[in-house]
Structure formats: C-alpha cells, structure tokens
Amino acid sequence: MATRGQWGSRLGFILAAAGSAVGLGNIWKFPYITGANGGGWFVLIYLLCILAVGLPIMIAEVMLGRMTQKSPVGAFRDLSGKGSLWVGIGWMGVVAAFIILSYYSVVAGWAMNYIRLAATGVFADTPADQVPGLFGAMYADPGTNLLWHGLFMGLTVFIVLGGVQKGVERWSRILMPMLFVMMLGLLVQAASMDGFGKALDFVFGLHADKLKPAGVLEALGHSFFTLSLGMGAMLTYGSYLSKKDDIVTASAAITLLDTAIALMACMVLFPITFTFGMEPSAGPGLVFMNIPVALAQVPGGLFLSVVFFALLTFAALTSAISLLEVAAAYFIDEKGWSRGKAVGVTGGAILVLGIPSALSGGTELFGKSFEGVFGKNWFDLFDYIASNWLLPLGGLGIALFAAWRVGDAARRVEFGEQTAWGRLYLGWLLVLRFVVPVAVVAVFLHLIGLY
C-alpha cells in the first residue's frame, strides 16, 4: 500500500507497542486476578508463561506483520493463500478486538470518573473507611457506567481517526515515563507500610496451594492479554516497523517493561490491602479502592490521585487505540473503506456492544439478571471468552503458522540471524513448534475435562 505509514524510529515502535501492552491489564487486572487466585503460584506460572510462551509469540507476531505489511486477515491470506483455514486466525483476532474493547472501555471509563472524583474533592470529603465503598456505588450505577464508557470510546475514536502515529507517539514519550515514575513513587510509599512484608509473601511466596487448574488457564490467558498477543495487534504494529529494526530486541524490551509494571502494581496495591485490612480478593475494584485510600495518607495526595487516574486513563487509551486499530484496519484493508468510515462504524459498534458490560454491575439488565450465563455477568463473560479462549487460541495459531508454514530463509532474516540474537534462532523455533502448542493444548484439554 503506497500510503502505508512507518514509525518514526525504532523507539516509536517500542513506545507504541509498549503503549498497547501496558494498560489496564497491568495495573487493574493483574493485581486483582493475582488476589483472586491466591498469589504466589499464580504469579510464578504467569511469569513462566510470559517467558516461555509470550515473548516467543510476540517475536513471531511482529515478524508476520513486518513480512506481509498487512493487517491480520490480509497477512494470513498473503502467506497461505485465499480460502485457507489459517485466515480464520485473522478473523478471530478481529472478533477478539471487538469483544475486548467493549468492556475495556467500561473499565477505562471508571478510571476517568475517578479523575473527576479526585479532582472535585469527593475522596477528601469521604472518611477513609468509606472510600472503597465508592467503587461499589459506581459499579452498580448504570448511568455513570454508560456515560464514561461513551466518553472513553469517543476519545479513542477521535485519536484513531486523527492518525495514531503523530499524536500518540508524541504523548507516549512523555506520559509513559511519567507513569513509570509515579509507580516507582507509589512503590516507595508502599514499602514503608506495615503490610509490605505480608504483601511480598503473598505475591512471591510459594506455600499456599490455593491455585486451581482454572488459575493456570487464567495465567496463560493473561500473559496473552497483557502483551496484546494472539489477536493481531502486535502484528498490525509490526507491519509499520522498518526492515532495519531488530525485532527480538524490541520484543524483549516491551515484554520486560510490561512485566515490570505488572509486578510493581502488585507491590503497590497489596501492601495497601494488608495494611488497611482489606481483602486481596476484592475483585475488579481493587485498584479503585486501594489507591485513593493510600494517597489520602500523603501530602498532596488528592493531586496525586488525579495524576494517578489520569495516567491510568492514558495507559488504557494507548491500549484501546491498538484494539480499535485492529478492528478498523480490517475494513480499511479488506473492504476498502475510508479510514473515517471504518473507525466510525467499528467504534460505534463497540460502543453498543459495551452497553451490557456497562450495566453488569447493576443487579439486572432489562429486567433480567445476567448472573446466570456460566455463573458470570456479561462483563466477566466477555473477559473470560476473550482472554482465556480467543487469545490463547489465536496465539497458538500464530505460533504454529510462523513456525511451520513460513519459509525458513525469510524467517531467519526477519529474526536477525546476523545479529547477536542469531544463536537463539533454533531455540526460539523449537519453542514455537513444540513448547507453545503443548502448553496451550494441555491447558485447554484439562479445562474441557479430558484428563
């Protein structure tokens, strides 16, 4: 495509891809699923999944994008031929993008609403022990959820319309490091709390046998979710990467940064949990309950709360952009739609699709309770289907495709055989060919109940 953009530099790609990876998954979701799964073992399995499955797949995914210079559906078609079943992986990615962004936007809306609550002094006027209750009240309020979901989707559409590269690259350069510094600051504060030792033990101690088999699937699924893998987001970003750049270094940097922020988030939130006698298994409200309580303790805390939730919103935005980009790129590349039409239509569809999630905290929806669907409400169900099934399946497909179908000569060049990483090539290939499929299939079979 003549007008296909490229990142300004390798740093531009790393920032955009890290912007996609680092998001609500790290700061909102990882701590709360760690809490729900009892800590220790869950974290260890998650780290193993990141290293043995996530990083190798990230390299494969970026590679497929750069080789084909296409978005997912086109990429698989180019490499495997029209009508091939492999194209289904691209399709699944587009579906996953719709599903994930629909509820992701609801959570990002909560973060935006929390900027408002902090800025208007609501946290200051509420006694500390009642601040966690503010989350429950918001969660159950349909109007608030719908309003902020709509605002966040509007913001995402606006940015994706205006061209991802210029605006987002520029802001990411400033705000991503700020987020990192803020997390470090919070970590220092958390380290001085009474509950820090208990939190360390909870997150890294391996004594509890609380982990259930479903937790292994959740750890695997989350390693895809947090690195934005398995649905073509990294493939799409890779398609804008220049041939000169080194994929392995970039992938390793992104993975490291993403993992560091997730672990930091745990070490910020759990000391607060234990110090203030809250529950580690508080669920999706964890970050929203803990941060305002902790920041109320420090001078300038209110201002810092505004900054924190603003940074969280920004982190969510850079991830949401990559999700909408996958959905829209399909219609632009495959259906020949203009960017404006594609972004408007997909953004509008996702806005509507998110409505049941926005209403999930209420007791019922259109007079019916949704708690009945596999025992999950709409919001949890979407998250479960996308993170635990669609992304691992997509990731498996990407691994198999990159390792068995793509020609070896081209693959070696893309991997950077001439660089210092060259020696790792065979190891990487073997992992994709055998380790990833065995791991993903074993987890699935277990859950389906086959052994």
Residues in the site for ligand PFF, rule: CB under 6 A?
20-21, 23-26, 100, 225-226, 228, 231, 233, 319, 322-323
Task: Answer left, alpha or beta for residue 373, where phi above 0 means left and psi between -120 and 50 means alpha.
Answer: beta
Please say whether the beta carbons of 316 and 148 come within 8 A. no
Q: Which is nearer to ligand PFF, 186 or 390 (CB)?
A: 390
Distance CA 329, CA 413 (A): 27
Residue 104 CB, nearest distance to ligand PFF (Å)? 7
- DSSP character string of 37-91: TTSHHHHHHHHHHIIIIIHHHHHHHHHHHHHHTS-HHHHHHHHH-TT-TTHHHHH
Q: Which is nearer to ligand PFF, 56 or 301 (CB)?
A: 56
Q: How many CB atoms lie within 10 A of CB 251?
A: 25
Nearer to ligand PFF, 236 or 275 (CB): 236
**Nearest residue to ligand PFF, scored by beta-carbon proximity:** 25
How many other CB atoms are there within 10 angstroms of residue 2's CB atom?
3
CB 234 to ligand PFF: min, Å: 7
Query: Among residues 323 and 359, whose Cβ is nearest to ligand PFF?
Result: 323
CB 399 within 8 Å of CB 220: no
Among residues 102 and 319, whose Cβ is nearest to ligand PFF? 319
Shortest distance (Å) from residue 233 CB to ligand PFF: 3
**Smallest gap, in angstroms, from Cβ of residue 146 to ligand PFF?**
22
Give the C-alpha separation, 273 to 286, whole Å.
9
How many other CB atoms are found less than 10 A from the CB of residue 27?
Answer: 28
Least distance (Å) between residue 162 CB and ligand PFF = 19
Planar angle of CA 281, 445, 80, nearest 5 degrees: 110
Q: CB of 328: closest distance to ligand PFF in angstroms?
A: 13
Q: What is the number of other CB atoms lying within 10 angstroms of the CB of residue 33?
A: 24
Q: Which is nearer to ligand PFF, 60 or 131 (CB)?
A: 60
Which among 78, 156, 168 is positioned nearest to 326, based on CA atoms? 156
What's the min distance (Å) between Cβ of 129 and ligand PFF? 30
326 contacts 236 by C-beta, under 8 angstroms: yes
Report the residue number, 271 or 395, with the smaller CB distance to ligand PFF.
395
Residue 350 gets the label, from left (phi > 0), alpha (psi -120 to 50) or beta, of: alpha
Tell the burial category of 412 from Cβ atoms under 10 Å away from its Cβ (0-12, 13-18, 19+): middle
Measured distance CA(85)–CA(415) in Å, rounded: 25
Please identify, using beta-carbon distances, which residue of 193 and 267 lies nearer to ligand PFF: 267
CB closer to ligand PFF out of 225 and 382: 225
Between 231 and 302, name the residue whose CB sits nearer to ligand PFF.
Answer: 231
Angle 168-9-409 (CA atoms, 0-180°, nearest 5)?
A: 120
What single string gives the DSSP state of each residue in 196-259? HHHHHHHHH--------HHHHHHHHHHHHHHTT-SSSHHHHHHTTS-TTS-HHHHHHHHHHHHH
Alpha-carbon distance 9 to 15, whole Å?
10
